[in-house]
Structure 1
Amino acid sequence: MEKAQFQNKTSVGYADPRVDELLKHSIRTQLESLLKSKITTEQRIQLLQKSFVDAMSLVLSDTKVAHQQLVKAFESMYDQAVQSLAMAELSQDVLTRQYVSETGLIMSPHNCKHTIKDVYRIKGYARGIDKAIAAKLKNKPSVTILYPACGPFAPLLLPLLSYYKHEKRYSSEQIKVILVDVQPGAILSLQQLVQDLQLEDYVLQIEEADATKYVPNLEIDLLILEAMQHGFTKEGQLSIAKHLVQFLNIDGWMIPQNVSVRGMMVIGETEFNQQWKDVKYSHSIHVDRAAQQDRVELGEILSINKSSLLDMGEVELADGIKVIPANQIVLPTGIADMDQRILAIYAHIETFSQEVVGQYDSGITNPRPDMTFYVDAKPREVEHTHFVASSGDAVQFYYQLSGLTGFVPVKI
């Protein structure tokens, strides 16, 4: 669609405090862009391409790279990508449009743009995708990649493609990409960014579509997907994966290859505060051993991979609400302070060939506390959202697909 179609929508209500906060940030971003626009278009594009290549050179390096060096490279990549976003000339409501669909939260392009500076999320995915592409191209001349819900920057793939082109590692004859997003603003940004990166030959299609309903017109070798928030809540990762996995070739792969969602009972102060007091940034390598030993692991609640998706059944409740039966767990007994513990749900992501995004490596893998889940204790005032159980109880988890996604525990 043409840019002009999206510029004539209802004007933003600037008196709304939430919108005004976004507006101020957008204005600041645009003013910064104007200051930087003193450089020529050619210089801007060169800086953009260099920032993408430099970041991926560090990510794919087999030698250890310092955290601050990675952060600096990713900040540069973000700063340059935002320049392309500014060039796409999105209206304020297109930039900030965010809503809940039938299958989860649809984030605004404004909020999605920050993913490109999530160092260890992108590192885990990029290294996995790089290995998957190499493995595919050993046995076939080209690989077709589908990347749905990719946001305004397609950050798991466009930086890699920039690196491949610069290093002459893989040509556009070897890699063909389809980018899909439901947000008009993301599409406009993607078109601008792909043009600025000069990756048009690699990108077959940029489609504005709901990924839970999109039907590709080509056979897919790799499905790349990351539409998650911590605790595997809110966004539509599972609905998208469940729909699109059917379009993979019989030997096609989904990335991540496996997402294991797990639960544990923790002391909140120990888990979320004390163990991070003496470290500069949260990461799986900095998880405190004493805090780990203090956890009561409940095990895996749900596993999402190609096989489980193809076999996964749905239960439809009243009003068309859909849920997925997840795993059943038995709450452990003999834990003296169980009544003081809270449930924390976290994801461990295996992208491909031992490349992972581990606990605390990214916002999407940070354990999410569930303050409505009580074991051996009762809230002062029981609300309909509270779940109350006792040690030794069997609990069946379901995953809600409709609206804001998340887990629903049911006592057996």
Structure 2
Amino acid sequence: SDASGRYHSNWLNMMYPRLKLARNLLKDDGVISIHIDEHEYSNLEKLLNEIFGEENNLGTIIWDKRNPKGDAKGIAYQHEQIIFFAKNRENFLLHNEFKRPKENAKKIIQKAESLIKKEGVINDNIRKEFKDWIRIQDFSGGEKAYSFIDNSGNVYRPVSMAWPNKKQSPEDYKIPLIHPVTNKPCPMPDKGWRNPSKTMQKLLSEGLILFGKDESTQPNRKYLLKENMEENVPSLLYFGGSDDDLLKKLDVVFDTPKVVDVAKRIITPITKENDIVLDFFAGSSTTAHAVMQLNVEDSKDRKFIMVQLPEPIEESHEAYSKGYRYITEISKKRIDNVAKKLKEEHPDKAKDLDLGFKVFKLDSSNIKAWSPEV
């Protein structure tokens, strides 16, 4: 009971050995991510700092679920935390980029391509229609900045080339750019350019510097979306949906399933080809579902290990009436049904992936339980 005086102590005693074991299982470039609400977050962070070391904290994502708790007695929380710790931060960052795909990058490029294909030419009408479409989308500010199409059909955004520090830049960073039409020098940032003259000339030769109509406008750098399809992992994650319809199609009945889309966003930046994803609290195996889905999408061969105690299902529960007796049975059924679904929806990609799985059960222990009375 959460009214117990030892409630937090019991929780810590339950988590500590699991986290200790998790660290031992991780490879040197491995990462653990833990999803938790507000009740034990502060205690969890203390545990992780002790076991993994403060220097290996990769940060925390705040998941805004877009729905405040209705039974709150104080502030109605509508967010939860997803905390990341590396076994060895330096090693992890050496072998992993820790980036995620820009969520709507492909959608933006496809929209530009469809407009160009419809008109058969790149003109001002296409550019206006594209910019109007971008404006009404529920995209991040960074994604909405990619609202321009160049003469080659590339989607791009302008970015300042100003020197980023408060100190003055070296003299080589203060060479003016000449406007290609008027042949007059353009305005320069107060502290100089971000790049030295050699880099500026390279950008100029590659057509990656944007000039105004005349020399009165300060030039910007052209960032092509196709060359910037990934981004740093942001600290905020906005997702207010559920998987109710998806689970219904998979014939999965579970009270508190994790969301596949959220699980994918957690797994993507911390895994690469042939990595193993382990979930200590598998539940209905949302993590396995996410791994299989990601493998189909990006053709990486991640593997998964799901760990779940065979908790009995109450007879009054809907899952019991469907023939399930333990949570582990729901988990196995879901993995099986997801594999079938992926084979049906993506036959070309699925045929090259291993969508099977093995089940192992722990035998009874040969270690006698300690008793103070013996």
TM-score normalised to the size of structure 2? 0.27
Query: Relative CO higher for 1 or 2, CA cutoff 8 Å, sep ≥ 6?
Result: 1
User: For the pair shown, which has the larger CA radius of gyration, 1 or 2?
Assistant: 2
State the TM-score, normalizing by the size of structure 1.
0.25
Structure having the higher strand fraction is 1
